[in-house]
Amino acid sequence: KEAKDSDLIIAVKAKDDKLAEEALEKAEKDLQESRTKFEEAGDYLPKSLEGAIEIMPDANLVLISVAGKYAGDEAMKALEKGLHVMLFSDNVPLEKEIELKKYARDKGLLVMGPDCGTAIINGAPLAFSNVVNRGDIGIVAASGTGLQEVSCVITNEGAGISQAIGTGGRDVKKDVGGIMFLEGMKALNEDENTKIIALVSKPPHEDVLKKIAELIKDEIKKPVVGIFIGGDPEVVKNAGAIPASTLEEAGLIAASLSKGKSMDEFKKLLEEREEEIKKLADEEASKKKDGQKYVRGLYTGGTLCDEAQLLFKDMIGYVYGNAPLKDEFKLKDSWKSYKNTVIDLGEDEFTVGRPHPMIDYTLRNKKILEEAKDPEVAIILLDVVLGYGSNMKPGEELAPVIKEAKEIAKKEGRDLSIICSITGTKKDPQNKEKVEKELKEAGAIVMPSNAAASKLSAYIVKKLGGDK
């Protein structure tokens, strides 16, 4: 019998047929009991948008996560009923995305997505999101983990978020034309709780960047901070916005504006830390054996992966990967690293048939141990993304793997630097401070941001001659 999109598949691995049958019976019983408990409690799980609206007639936003081929039609139903949409689903046809966003714009509604992984609306975290402070900084982002990194930096600096609007990565491409990015900016300009606007994106198409700049210049009446990773900062600067060179810097600038602090304070902080990073790089490089000179980045967040590659480009040159900055640096086999390599484990080739690597660490843990066996590897660089939707016990799962990786190298007379950054806050269910303690106790170096972790890795590579 062929499984359909809405079918649930239960797979059982057992020593014999009898145990397999017992496990299946238990699974079916648990599912039935769960349904019965809901019914006895008077709870009703609606099976359609119409049913959900009957239960919550005052709702003004719907989060949609169904197969891509159905998601667009469900989103249009919601828009026709006057609801804002967060479209978590991916694989929605481009033509459908454009149709939805044009319709929403004409109706004064937002369509966040498709493939929008993060948003915070009036303090309510949606999908992959962190527990952040409420405040006066509004964010528009065409990048999920970029939004998370910036919002967490802001919170960790003691400032807060009014709204965080995700648009989905395709929104800033030429075909979509930045429809929702621009609408998000307008919404924040009108939002009385937003005093500062932060813009976060991978490089928009030049036509879209021009539209963003024009909107900043002509309509936006609030201070704007912009980080367009890999884009031309001069375009937004000339429009009157403050450009940032990293996600962390964008968060620090926004937090400084919110708290009325001088820009010189955070600049001094970054300058002092740069010197500390160089000293730490010298220490780590001095422990390495001849022949150890390369970094292997294993990323779960796509934008964090891009940021690392861009920082590497300026410091040690282009690096290899499955989603490199230049096609000529694309790995022949994504499963086999070469020289300096940064892998985005969230790409489709790694996620088909398995949960996203921000949830399930199995694949990355395996890759960490593989890279530890390579005698040319000096550094393994990792991002750890906390918050709702992400792995609930990152420290517990990563710590033993970090210890094992360092032990593999030690047995061969090598020292292995494992450098991590944590995107999160102490309010997250995983607790940033707890995770940091667990990783440090396992032997990892934990840096305050992805940018800092990437820079430390690059300085070590330079010291070892791995940039040649």
* 229-262 pLDDT per residue, tens: 988 889 989 999 999 999 999 999 999 999 999 8
Superfamily name with CATH number, domain 49-265: Succinyl-CoA synthetase domains (3.40.50.261)
Q: What average pLDDT does this structure show over 177-193?
A: 98
User: Is residue 304's pLDDT more than 70?
Assistant: yes
Q: What average pLDDT does this structure show over 292-314?
A: 97
User: Is residue 36's pLDDT more than 90?
Assistant: no
User: Is residue 5's pLDDT more than 80?
Assistant: no
Say yes or no: do domains 49-265 and 273-464 share a fold. Answer: yes
pLDDT at res. 406: 99
Q: Which fold has domain 273-464?
A: Rossmann fold (3.40.50)
> Domain boundaries in the chain?
1-43, 49-265, 273-464
Q: What average pLDDT does this structure show over 343-370?
A: 93
Q: CA geometry: angle at 443 spanning 437 and 445, to 5°?
A: 75
pLDDT at res. 263: 85
What is the pTM assigned to this prediction? 0.92
Mean confidence (pLDDT) of the chain? 94
User: Is residue 14's pLDDT more than 70?
Assistant: yes
